[in-house]
Amino acid sequence: MIAELLKVADAWHTGRLTGHEPFGGRGVDYFIDLDSDGRVLLVSPCCANREGHSKRFPIPINYRLGSQNVWIPLFLTGKAAEVFAMGVTGQNPTPERHAKWAALIRQAAAALPNNLLLRTVQRFIEGRTALADCPLEVSGAAERQQLLKACADGIPTLSFRVNGRIVIRDQELREWWAEHVKSQRDAVVKGLRRGEDAFLPGEGPLADSFPVILGNVPVLSFDKAPYKSYGLGAQTATLRLDTAEMYAAALNALWYDQTHSQRMEQFGKKELRAVFWAVSRGGSGLLDASFLHLVQEPDPLAVRDYINSVWAGRAREIPPADFHCALLMKGTGRFQVRSWHTETLAEAERHVRAYFDAIDLPSLPDWPELDPVRLSDLAWATIGRAKGKQKAKPPAATYSALFDSAWRGTAVPHPIFAAAIERQRTEMAGGDSQTQEFWGRVRARAALVQLYFTLNNGTATDEEAIMDSKETAILCGRLLALLDGIHNKAHDGKSASSPANTLYGAAAATPALVFPRLCTLARYHLQKMDEGMARKWEYGVPRAKRDDGVDEDFDGLAAVVARLKGASGGEFPRMLSLEEQGRFALGFYYERARKWPNYKKSDDTTPEDNARGDEE
């Protein structure tokens, strides 16, 4: 992995990464606007859209090794508690951190006495203000309190503008900071031995400590020194400082760049994130690999445009390139590489397209506004919904497995599939079937089941395959959805004890114990409807009478029962296996997703023929 990340450092978009750059692209969330006397005119967001991402600037960054466990201030940027002498509200200032931050400003001001921007920031420091005492660009009291709380939690990063000029863009200040970082590194290199490693040609200073990545994690650390007996002292493995710096710089660049990383989930103080990159074999540097973001994309148009991938009337050509993806878990003081794999760019794109095809589902007529199924939705659909307490989260292993299925086409682990089936049985009996969140989870579980059959068995599970199927389990699922619809229509949607709500688990596992009684009850429910509506539910809509122009019969209860009778030999199956229960779930979902057509209105039809139906 070190060798591959060195290639990233060499091919980075903005030039070769050395690991000791004085500036790095990080986010600035708010500007403190100062007048020439250092008074705060306004604290305003960098972006007009406050909901969007922070704006990225090449801000000053420190040269820091893992042995330096103390906090080091950033030059001209920082958190509110560091920048403001009295902190956020004036109640809980952090004088130690602010003193260090202010000392760096004074050091620069002493070296550059004629720099007006820096003198203005220095006047601001001596004003000893709190953020809460400054004018804030907010839309109301609620947004003001939200901003102050975020600043108290150390979330936004602030920088300065003086009379409209962004201070960190001043050339004189940038030159001073570059020389400052060089002196920091020179002091480190001065005491190091020289030698070689297995990654870079030639020799150079050998690292005795390592740069930090992901904010505060040493890129390498060891509990023991196994090579001590070979005369290497505390050195565990020979690694040049240049190698460690480039490796850390590449990993940091990938982690913080929104086109090369995707956050999966937060587990307390731990964060699971995927980093990915494609290196051109033709020597043209890194290629666009942002398509992997779409597995968490809630915008159906973005996904559709990617799947079509047509430009100027022809498919986009994929250049020859190696595609790499790593799942990293960042914790406190450590990070884990949970998985790392390599494919070609073309193979990765092919697998992602197949993934989207596999989880594609028709929308539910009752809930057409449901968002597309994201990878995190698949993970959350495998665990319960805790009420009245903190929700348990899906384990990192679930995210890792599903993510690998998305971009590598690997099989979905059977325990994940089994968990989805168990949740389906449990939640269908939960009585929440009138909520959008409930049906969103049903949809996510159906997508997960469909993904399982597509990747593990190579089985076709699209709408045509399901609705034309003569498989007993699928037909049983369709039958339950029809009986549930008939029950709800007969009770005007006011019954909380429909077949799906009360008997889904039993119908999916032991159809023979449930369906005979349900079919008997269906006759009573049909008799409660008006004649035209009952005939529509029982016999469907013939192709000649459909008003939607589709040239095929729309099956009703009788057609599904007849097909099931032929498939099962005239009897309901006594038991369905776990995989058959997955097929049952697909039949149930696709039947619920069918939109019932209306009868054509014509002179020779009765009012019952023109009955509108269930709007499904």
Taking only the tens place, the pLDDT of each residue in 114-140 is 999 999 999 999 888 899 999 999 888
Q: What pLDDT, on the 0 to 100 scale, is given for residue 37?
A: 92
Residue pLDDT, tens place only, 150-167? 999 888 899 999 998 999
399 vs 376: CA distance, rounded Å: 7
CA dist., res. 561 & res. 401, Å (int): 38
pLDDT in tens, 411-434: 999 999 999 999 999 998 876 667
Positive or negative, the CA dihedral 292, 295, 300, 306 is positive
How far from the centroid of its chain's Cα atoms is residue 50's Cα?
20
More confident position, 105 or 184: 105
Return phi, psi of residue 264, to 5°. -95, -55
| Range 91-119 average pLDDT | 89
Q: Give the helix ranges, DSSP H, for 491-577.
A: 499-509, 511-528, 531-539, 557-568
Tell me the C-alpha distance between 156 and 31, whole Å: 10
Output the pLDDT for position 291. Answer: 87
Residue recorded with tokens 């920091």: 184
pTM to 2 decimal places: 0.81
Q: What is the structure's pLDDT at 221?
A: 62
Q: Give whole-number Cα distances, 461 to 200, 447, 455, 480, 559, in Å.
A: 50, 10, 11, 19, 21
Cα gap 417→408, rounded to integer Å: 18
Helices and strands per DSSP (H, E), number in the chain: 20, 17
Question: With contact defined as beta carbons under 8 Å apart, do 355 and 407 qualify?
Answer: yes
b/e per residue, 190-210, with b = 16+ CB within 10 A?
eeeeeeebebeeeebbbbbbb
Query: How far, in Å, CA of 289 to CA of 11, rounded?
Result: 14
